[in-house]
Amino acid sequence: MEAEIVATLRRSIEVSQQGSRRLRAHRFKDLFGFQAWSPARREMVGKLLSDEGVVVQPSLEQAGRDDWLIFSIPAVGVTTATPPEPRPTVEWFAEKAGLHLAFEREVEMHFVSPVFEQLGYRVEQEAAGFGFVMWEGVRQHHAEADLLYFATDVNDLAAGDPLVLVECKAVGKGPDAGLGQARSYAFWLKPAYYLVTDGDYLTVWNYRGGAVPDLRVCEARRATLSEKFDELYAVLNPQAALATRQQKIKLFAGPQKPDPAAADPIS
């Protein structure tokens, strides 16, 4: 019975205009006839959701009784199976680990930009201080992204393909520094991914269009970047990131089916 409920949930997501479904945590529990969420039951339902390719945010373990649960089927993105060739040298990683960074501009120039060069981006694909217009209701204001990487040297939102948005903060601000700002910028820039870094932590997020929560893809530390570099390359190199963005364009522009009250219980 539990597997049938989760399969029905997946089908309801597939026909939803939003590409997601919302349920209160206690309403979701009631679908299974559970009197209480035991750790074993949460684990069992979580595995069923995972087997169906359904992501729930927040997780079943973190959600309170009256919290909204958002269920979605993410397009996980295209990755490159082969490692970078050539791979950065041991000396290159050591030099980056030993940098003494402080300010945002130093993080941008001496850490992020060299990393993206090693990921396969040419200088012509990098747009530093990229200006664009954001709207808040009927009012607009100009914003500036620290770095925006494009598929080619066409650094334009209409004619080009923005692949990775980067928001830099000063060292010591923590792994989520600039996250809210990057998310709001991504809504208008529509990259495949966005990345936030304070020059120590580096975190990559899969931008999912704004209708459902974005997904954390991978994270790394500057001091141990060598250990995570191949994982970053598999996701962020220009070819993989462009394929991911094209995948998302098709997904977001695809035919939409009628959505029976996204917040209602599953029938």
Q: What is the pLDDT of residues 150-162, one digit of tens each?
A: 999 999 999 999 9
Residue 139 has pLDDT above 90, yes or no: no
Q: Alpha-carbon distance 54 to 79, whole Å?
A: 20
Closest by CA position to 244, among listed 60, 68, 76: 76
Distance separating alpha carbons of residues 40 and 28, to the nearest angstrom = 16
- Beta-sheet strands, E only, within the chain: 20-24, 55-57, 68-72, 126-136, 139-150, 162-168, 193-197, 201-206, 215-221
Q: Please name which of 228, 27, 227, 209 lies closest in space to residue 217, comparing C-alpha atoms.
A: 228
pLDDT of residue 21: 87
User: For the chain, what is the largest distance between any 2 Cα atoms, rounded to a whole number of angstroms?
Assistant: 59
* pLDDT reading at 258 higher than 60: no
Tell me the CA end-to-end span of the chain in Å, nearest whole number: 14
The three-state secondary structure class of 262 is: coil
Average pLDDT estimate for 4-13: 90
How does pLDDT run across 227-248, given as a tens digit for each residue? 999 999 999 999 999 999 998 8
Q: What is the pLDDT of residue 167?
A: 97
Confidence of residue 75 (pLDDT cuts 50, 70, 90): low
* High-pLDDT (> 90) share of the chain, %: 64
Q: Which residues of 81-105 are buried (b: 16+ CB within 10 A; e: fewer)?
A: eeebeeebeeebbeebeeeebeebe
What's the mean per-residue pLDDT of the chain? 89
Residue bearing tokens 């359904």: 54
Q: 101 — phi, psi (to 5°)? A: -105, 155
Give 224's pLDDT tier (boundaries 50, 70, 90).
very high
> Please, which pLDDT band fits residue 267 given cuts at 50, 70 and 90?
very low
Which is more confident, 256 or 219? Answer: 219
The predicted pLDDT at position 252 comes to: 66
pLDDT in tens, 160-201: 999 999 999 999 998 898 999 999 999 999 999 999 999 999
Joined together, the tokens standing for residue 65 give 């009784």
Q: Is the pLDDT of residue 214 over 60?
A: yes
Sheet with 68-72: strands ordered across: 20-24, 68-72, 55-57
CB atoms within 10 A of CB 106: 16
